[in-house]
A and B are shown apart, each in its own frame.
Chain A
Amino acid sequence: MDAHGEDEATNHKAWLHVGVLLAAAFSLFVAITYWVLYIPE
């Protein structure tokens, strides 16, 4: 716990989870973008 009562290890874990979530989301968005723009129907 830090001076504000925050559990730093848990907080780092939460940031890591959010980072992985957003990285996965952007990877999916970029993949869909390429599919829409460059793969003909």
Chain B
Amino acid sequence: MFGLPEDFLQSHLIEHWIGTYRWVWPVSEVFHFIGLILLVGTVAILDLRILGIGKRIPYSNLAPLMPWAVLGFILCVVTGLVFVTGLWANVQMLPMEALAIDRFLQLKFIFIGLAGINLLLFTYTPVARRIDVLAANEEAPASAKVMGAASLVLWVGIVYWGRLIPWGL
């Protein structure tokens, strides 16, 4: 797939850990969920404010939550890599094989990519500067609301497709 070797992203060390220590997979799952809570919870709070909920709170009071979302994203990526690189120990399938056949895994990655593009658009257009100074009871511009709505739908979708991955294998 994509000209990559079929054992791309496979780690015998992680497989060994998962196969030998039964706690590695559930502990990784727990930290994956904590990462999701931090990431999606924070992003949802910011998106909902942009969409007009909790308008009494100035956006600048919520923006300092962003580092928690970054920490959540890092937790999700690290634990997600445990699931991908050690997949063989769980379902006897190579990561590239799973990526090729699992429509839900593909949808999750597509949604992550779209959420990333949405975040880049938000950050590197004048919208972010306009939102940063959004005062209490002030309405966000329509362009920001579209991006906030897209972000909310994409992140909810990422969680949804993630839960369905086992059914796509």
Question: Hey, what's the 0/1 contact readout for B99-118 against A, CB within 8 Å counting as 1?
Answer: 00001100100000000000
Give chain A residues whose Cβ lies under 8 Å from the Cβ of B48: 18
* B43 within 8 A of partner (CB): no
Q: How far is the CB of A41 from chain B (nearest CB, A)?
A: 10
Contact A18 B56 (CB under 8 A): no
Q: How far is the CB of A33 from chain B (nearest CB, A)?
A: 7
Which of A6, A7, A14, A21 meets B152, CB within 8 Å?
A: A21
Main secondary structure of the interface of B (DSSP, over half): helix
* B168 within 8 A of partner (CB): yes
Q: How far is the CB of A39 from chain B (nearest CB, A)?
A: 11
Which of B52, B137, B157 meets A17, CB within 8 Å?
A: B52
Interface residues on A, range: 20 to 34
Contact B51 A17 (CB under 8 A): yes
Q: How far is the CB of B44 from chain A (nearest CB, A)?
A: 10
The verdict on A14 contacting B52 (CB below 8 Å), with A7-B137, A29-B157, A36-B103 known, is: yes
Residues of chain A from 11 to 36 with CB closer than 8 A to chain B in the complex: 11, 13-15, 17-18, 21-22, 25-26, 29, 32-33, 36
Contact A25 B55 (CB under 8 A): no
A14 to B145, alpha carbons, bound, how many Å? Answer: 11
| Chain B residue at minimum C-beta to C-beta distance from A24 | B153
Contact B156 A22 (CB under 8 A): yes
Contact B56 A32 (CB under 8 A): no
**5 pairs across A/B with beta carbons < 8 Å?**
A6-B56, A10-B139, A18-B48, A21-B153, A25-B157
Known: A5-B136, A7-B137, A14-B55; 12 extra A-B contacts, CB below 8 A, are A6-B55, A7-B55, A10-B55, A11-B53, A18-B51, A21-B153, A22-B153, A25-B157, A26-B156, A29-B161, A32-B107, A36-B168
